[in-house]
């Protein structure tokens, strides 16, 4: 049977196994329980035989694995459930901002710098 989403599953398994080397609580069974899915389901996900879980569970996985949730969500073909809400708050401006950033082909580094400036208040929208 062809893999449904092997890239996501392989990444989860790789991260979980790496953490298991230093923390036995990252066994498949205990990890599955900690995020609210069955061990059988998680095994199928890791093997690429089942679709990734819902976004909320992927976010839990990322928290437990101490990795960026958006990266795992992207591998799963999903987005953080908060993003549509954020866009709906200012639909024209947010959509325009995202499209402009995409068209400008900003690198990850450039986007990170912009984000840091926005978070720190160093970005002056008046200039």
From first CA to last CA, the distance across the chain in angstroms is 57
pLDDT at 1: 42
- Cβ–Cβ under 8 Å, residues 93 and 101: no
Q: 19 and 26 in contact (C-beta within 8 Å)?
A: yes
User: What integer best gives the mean pLDDT of the chain?
Assistant: 90
| Tokens of residue 51, six digits | 């679709």
pLDDT tens-digit readout, 62-113: 999 999 999 999 999 999 999 999 999 999 999 998 999 899 998 989 988 8
pLDDT reported for residue 115: 86
Q: Where in the chain is the domain with CATH 1.10.260.40?
A: 6-75
Q: What does the pLDDT average to over 45-73?
A: 95
**What pTM value is reported for the model?**
0.80
Give the pLDDT score at 126: 67
> What is the secondary structure of 18-85 as a DSSP string?
HHHTT-GGGSHHHHHHHHTS-HHHHHHHHTTSS----HHHHHHHHHHHTS-HHHHHHHTT---THHHH
The CATH topology of domain 6-75 is 434 Repressor (Amino-terminal Domain) (1.10.260)
């Amino acid at each position: 049977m062809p893999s449904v989403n092997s890239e996501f599953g392989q990444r989860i398994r790789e991260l979980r196994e790496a953490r298991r080397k230093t923390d036995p609580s990252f066994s498949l069974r205990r990890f599955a329980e900690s995020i609210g899915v069955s061990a059988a389901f998680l095994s199928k996900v890791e093997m690429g035989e089942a679709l990734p879980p819902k976004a909320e569970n992927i976010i839990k996985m990322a928290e437990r694995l101490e990795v960026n949730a958006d990266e795992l969500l992207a591998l799963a073909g999903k987005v953080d459930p908060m993003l549509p809400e954020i866009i709906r708050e200012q639909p024209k401006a947010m959509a325009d901002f995202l499209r402009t950033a995409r068209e400008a082909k900003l690198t990850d580094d450039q986007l990170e710098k912009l984000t840091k400036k926005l978070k720190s208040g160093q970005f002056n929208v008046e200039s």
